[in-house]
Structure 1
Amino acid sequence: MPEIIKVSLEWPTLPATILLGICLLYWVCVILGFMELDFLDFDLDFEIGTDGPSFLDFGFIGLRFLNIGEVPVMLWLSIFSLCMWMLSINFDAGVKINSAMDYLPLAIRNIGISLVVTKLITQPFKGYFHFTPPNQIETLLGKSCVVTSTTVTDRFGQGELETEGAPLKLHIRAEDETIQKGDLVRLADYNSDKQVFYVVKISQES
Structure 2
Amino acid sequence: MQEAFLVFITKISLYPTIIFTGLVMFVTLYWVVSLIGLADMDSVDLGDAGGDVDVSDLSSTGFFTGLMLKFGLYGVPLIIILSLISLIGWVLSYLYTSFLHQYFDSGLLYYVFGTGALIFVLVISMWLTGLIISPIRKNIANIPKRNAASNIGKVATVRTLSVTNQHGEAELHDGGAGLILKIRSDAQDNQLKQGDKVVLVEYLGEANTYRVTPVKDN
TM-score (norm 2): 0.50
Q: How far 1:19 moved relative to its partner?
A: 1.2
Match of 1:74 among 73, 79, 96: 79
Q: Which has the higher contact order (CA 8 A, sep 6+)?
A: 2
Name 1:124's counterpart in structure 2. Answer: 135
Distance change (3 Å), C-alpha of 1:65 and 1:127: farther
Asked whether the equivalents of residues 97 and 103 of structure 1 are also in contact (C-alpha less than 8 Å), the reply is no
The Cα shift of 1:119 comes to 1.5
Residue matched to 2:192: none
Question: Cα deviations across residues 108-154 of structure 1 (Å, max 9, x unaligned)?
Answer: 22112212211221111114456856155xxxxxxxxxxxxxxxxxx
Q: Does 1:96 align with 2:109?
A: no
Task: List runs of 5+ in structure 2 lacking aligned partners.
Answer: 49-56, 150-218
Q: For residues 32 and 125 of structure 1, what CA distance do their matches in structure 2 show? A: 25
Which residues in structure 2 correspond to 1:6-155 (within 5 Å)?
6-38=10-42, 41-45=43-47, 55-57=59-61, 60=65, 62-93=67-98, 94=102, 95-99=104-108, 100-129=111-140, 134=147
Shift in Å at residue 58 of structure 1? 8.1
Structure 1 residues 4 and 54 mapped into 2: Cα distance closer, same or farther (>3 Å)? Answer: closer
Could you say what secondary structure the match of 2:60 adopts? helix
Shift of 1:9: 1.7
Alignment partners' CA distance in 2, 1:111 and 1:135: 37
State the shift of 1:70 in Å. Answer: 1.7
The 1-side partners of 2:58 and 2:88 are apart by 32
SS in structure 2 opposite 1:25?
helix
Contact 2:41 2:78 in 1 (8 A): no
Contact 1:11–1:97 (CA under 8 A) maintained in structure 2: no
The alpha carbon displacement at 1:74 in A equals 1.1
In structure 1, how many angstroms separate the alpha carbons of the residues matched to 2:106 and 2:46? 37
Q: Quote how far apart the aligned CAs of 1:64 are.
A: 2.4
| TM superposition shift of 1:57 | 3.5
> 1:54/1:14 Cα in 2 relative to 1: closer, same or farther (>3 Å)?
closer
Letter in 2 for 1:19: L
**Partner Cα distance (1:135, 1:44) in 2:** 20
Q: Which amino acid aligns with 1:124?
A: P
Structure 1 counterpart of 2:38, which letter?
F
- Displacement of 1:24: 0.9
Given the superposition, is the C-alpha separation of residues 135 and 14 from structure 1 closer, same or farther in structure 2, using an over 3 Å criterion? closer
Question: 1:18, CA displacement in angstroms?
Answer: 0.8
Identity over aligned residues, as a percent? Answer: 23
Contact 1:16/1:84 (CA < 8 Å) preserved in 2?
yes
The structure whose Rg is larger is: 1
Query: Deviation digits for residues 148-204 of structure 1, max 9, x if unmatched?
Result: xxxxxxxxxxxxxxxxxxxxxxxxxxxxxxxxxxxxxxxxxxxxxxxxxxxxxxxxx
Indicate conservation of the 8 Å contact 1:12/1:97, yes or no. no
Distance across 1 between alignment mates of 2:137 and 2:72: 7
Residues 33-56 of structure 1 deviation map (CA, whole Å, 9 limit, x = unaligned): 221133xx442139xxxxxx6613
Partners of 1:103 and 1:125 lie apart in 2 by: 33
Change (3 A) 1:83 1:97: farther
